[in-house]
Structure 1
């Protein structure tokens, strides 16, 4: 059965044929076969080429698992956590902090613009914090945050940083060497199926993680530090998904990270040129727009446009989330779909529907 639909959503993204084929290989028993642990060590080594030299862990669960696990592993009852937020996922970190009985202090900024560095500095000057959370690419609004100035300030105050880079890692540069826990996921720029969280953990973060006991198993990062070397996983790993991710990372590294980033930039530029030509404006400030997703203002017609594009043109797009559900149409040009020809097909359809 063929499926001609073009899914230009900001994740999950299209899975290349080579990844699907790899996932069809016989499934080993990841708990008892030594060869599987060697494979896992090799895969985390490949991810180091994207992340840098920090320890890498791959968890069996969709990207949100990583966000919850980072907070659950780093936050003790009573810990103060600065949650930097200029979007839905930044605000959502506060929920995980409260679940861990920590004190979440939300540093809000308008959704259309960048993180508010001045307010971050003000919070840090007036009180101590153990951890700070933030989002690199806010997928619901298409905003890409400049993290370097924020990380500079956090380092000055010895605050452990947690970054959701789920929608940017592998599609645009991420300052992973500056981040204590940097979270990614298989289904975004890597173009593998949903089901895996990838994360890097710094020595400073490991020290904090290992300083107290969490009451969770599935969301505890500590067992993953030595799991592969000790040939023991906290739970049965998702072998077929890991095979798929392995091939997806091979494709990315064979192309070369710089070429991958340039491909994403070209796709984003074409998308926004085509949108402007038919009178559609960007939701975020252009200076903060992400190369992995474009959010367009459509004032109350996003759901209708989404439905018509799917029914009449076999193109699947995403609407906004939360209060923006019907006012923003989102086009994902990330991973395997970050290609100018796919953007052109998408925008041809959008133009036809609007006309």
Structure 2
């Protein structure tokens, strides 16, 4: 999107499965108006180091933009971490059908937006601000999605935001312990594993495992993307996912691996490890 609008974009790349290369970012950030990043990378299960990136951006005098569509459920503090713009949407972390997006902006980012020439109707923040004064939008919104979002937000508030984040953390750790007991490894860098999606190394068999879980046990997961499309299995544990979902998914994974002859774990080892963790960390 930045390139479409004529920005001179410098990409700071990392290997798949690893977080942002902070040293490379420090060496590239001078003179940058914006540092933009994805918080939670669903293709690799990596939770990028957003606080460190925001700190580097702030020191360089750059605005920090964060895509946090799939990261909701992980700890995230926009103001205290120094993030200027957060973009999210109804799907994924908010457990609502797709159809609406949201932008939160710092005062610094709003000042910058006000001074920037407007190049489109859709991305004109001033139009949205003006409409909001009348509790409206510049054009017809996705009414049905907004109603669904209200229900989802009511559920989150009823649960409590802190407990909502803790539930994601406990579910993720239970799942990680389950796959470790099965002899499987995460694709993501150690210490940067997401609490909303896990990517598991299953070399050469990921699509077969995903298809078996779907066809035999009606559990939907996804194979990897790009060059890792058959080497990584991706499992989401965000939104309304609970202990029953984690245990069911681990059971289907164990049975599928055994059926197609991948791995040497005995049935029940992954589920037992997850349940053991839940027994001392109830949610």
TM-score (norm 1): 0.70
SS at match of 2:122: coil
Shift of 1:220: 2.9
- Matched with 1:105 is 10
Distance 1:323 1:253 in 2: 40
- Matched with 1:277 is 181
Distance 1:213 1:230 in 2: 25
Cα distance, 1:266–1:222 mapped onto 2, change above 3 Å = same
Match status 1:175 vs 2:77: yes
SS at match of 1:294: strand
Match status 1:334 vs 2:245: no
- Matched with 2:274 is none
Q: Is the 8 A contact 1:186 1:245 kept in 2?
A: yes
Shift of 1:233: 2.0
> 1:286-297 maps to which residues of 2 (within 5 A)?
286-297=190-201
Distance 1:288 1:134 in 2: 15
- Matched with 1:211 is 115
Shift of 1:231: 4.5
Shift of 1:232: 4.5
> 1:8-87 maps to which residues of 2 (within 5 A)?
none
- Equivalent residue for 1:144, pick from 23, 39, 47: 47
Match status 1:116 vs 2:18: no
TM-score (norm 2): 0.87
Q: Is the 8 A contact 1:206 1:222 kept in 2?
A: no
Distance 1:286 1:222 in 2: 42
| Runs of 4 or more consecutive aligned structure 1 residues displaced over 6 Å after TM superposition | none
Distance 1:219 1:305 in 2: 41
Q: Is the 8 A contact 1:217 1:234 kept in 2?
A: no
Count matched residues: 256
Cα distance, 1:204–1:111 mapped onto 2, change above 3 Å = same
Structure 2 unaligned segments of length 5 or more: list them: 259-283
* Residue-by-residue CA offset, 1:201-224 (whole Å, 9 max, x unaligned): 111111111112332112333322
Distance 2:90 2:165 in 1: 17
SS at match of 1:290: coil
Structure 1 unaligned segments of length 5 or more: list them: 1-95
- Equivalent residue for 1:324, pick from 216, 228, 232: 228
- Matched with 2:93 is 189
Distance 1:117 1:211 in 2: 30
SS at match of 1:182: strand
> 1:295-314 maps to which residues of 2 (within 5 A)?
295-314=199-218
- Matched with 1:17 is none
- Say what the alpha-carbon RMSD is for the aligned residues: 1.4
SS at match of 1:162: strand
SS at match of 2:87: strand
* Residue-by-residue CA offset, 1:90-119 (whole Å, 9 max, x unaligned): xxxxxx121111100011122222212111
- Matched with 2:106 is 202
Cα distance, 1:258–1:226 mapped onto 2, change above 3 Å = same
Distance 1:111 1:313 in 2: 30
Shift of 1:351: 0.5
Distance 2:210 2:123 in 1: 35
